[in-house]
Amino acid sequence: MAGGPLSHLTVAVLGGDRREAEVIRELLGLGAAVVTAGRELAPDPEGARRAALAAEALQSAAAVLGPMPGVGEDGRVWAPMAARPPLYLTGPDLARLEPGALVLVGRANAHLRGLEREGAIGLVELADDDEMAILNSVPTAEGALQLAMELSPLTIHGSTSAVLGMGRTGLTLARLLAALGSRTLALARKAADRARAFALGHEPLPFSQLAAIAGRLDFLFNTVPAPVVGRGILASLPDAAVVIDLASAPGGVDFAAATDLGRTAVLAPGLPGKVAPVSAGRLLAGVVTRHLAEYSGEGGVGEWSSREGALVSP
């Protein structure tokens, strides 16, 4: 959109999956110039320019969008849609950016954090953004339910489920389980989180009760990035129980023990990009455009959405 509210920005999009295609579409609609790298196999919207290397994409860009899984400590960018060798984001590459450029990425490496401390770039770690985390909990929870139904011989309705951790994803997942007719046990370390679960109609329990209830669980969902489901818990589960770990790798479940015991247990991080990439991408687009608007001094972007029905933050 010529003359759009972001028409003064060139945004480099590095790596990522189908979610970023929705962000690119929104950025183009708001007038931004978009250059991509590491997305040769992606069906990106018309209007985005492809670059062969990160260095080319970053040349004079005012902002960079990296993938939600982030950039490794060695600079490697998560790029499952790349047709070429691995994509790396290096110090010399970043030097091609405009001074003070904004870098948005799921998780940043130490080098990016160092540049932020030095004032060379602005840095947003989207995984720590409350708005992004809350919105992302919806496709994550729906994806977890989809996976549970595929793996279990039982219906969700009439089952007994436990959700470990009452953070953003845990609360959303517990709500959906209860809505489908599952008796939902909400386990949390903090009393305030258990109280919140109780207020929403779930049965609150401390983690110390997990061993006592394991024998009557049909589904066990973990959102805690710490070792909370060990061999003893797994051995106590019914044979048909399904364990789904939504925490970031390596998760909180002893998967070696699960294999030894013949339990159905899967580590399932990154579900939004796998089960609902378009919806997840639209949510991501709203958060990204908000940060870009704040960075560029344009204020809120609620009135700017170029796509009917797009969710953007006011």
Instruction: Name the pLDDT band for 307 (thresholds 50, 70, 90).
Output: very low
Distances (CA, A) of 169 to 139, 165, 166, 256: 9, 8, 7, 25
Whether 1 is in a domain gets the answer no
In a domain, 312, yes or no: no
| Pair 117, 99 in one domain | yes
Q: Is the dihedral of CA 257, 259, 263, 268 positive or negative?
A: positive
119 and 72, same structural domain?
yes
Q: How far is it, in rounded angstroms, from Cα 239 to Cα 281?
A: 37
pLDDT computed for residue 5 by the predictor:
87
Tens digits of per-residue pLDDT, 182-202?
Answer: 999 999 999 999 999 999 999
36 assigned to some structural domain: yes
Same domain, 170 and 64: no
| Structural domain that includes position 196 | 132-272
- Domain of 71, CATH number, reads 3.40.50.720
Mean pLDDT of 90-100: 87
The Cα–Cα gap between 284 and 23 comes to 7
Q: What is the pLDDT of residues 232-283, one digit of tens each?
A: 999 999 999 999 999 987 899 999 999 999 999 999 988 999 999 999 999 9
CA 116 to each of CA 103, 123, 186, 256, 264: distance values in angstroms, whole numbers, following the listed order: 9, 6, 38, 39, 43
Domain count of the fold of the chain: 2
Q: Residue 213 domain-assigned? A: yes
Q: Confirm whether 191 is domain-assigned.
A: yes
Residues 215, 115 share a domain: no
pTM: 0.84
Residue 314 belongs to a domain: no
Using alpha carbons, select from 186, 142, 141 the residue that is nearest to residue 160: 186
Residue 250 backbone zone (phi > 0: left; psi -120 to 50: alpha; other: beta)? alpha
**Sign of the four-CA dihedral 92, 94, 97, 99:** negative
Asked whether residue 106 falls in the same domain as residue 179, the answer is no
The verdict on 146 and 254 lying in the same domain is yes
Do 84 and 14 share a structural domain?
yes
* Domain shared by 204 and 299, yes or no: no
Q: Are residues 123 and 216 in the same domain?
A: no
Considering the domain architecture, whether residues 246 and 258 belong to the same structural domain is answered as yes
221 burial via Cβ count (<10 Å: 0-12, 13-18, 19+): buried
**Does 4 reside within a domain?**
no
Q: Are residues 164 and 60 in the same domain?
A: no
Strand, helix or coil for residue 242 = strand
Question: Is the same domain home to 136 and 267?
Answer: yes
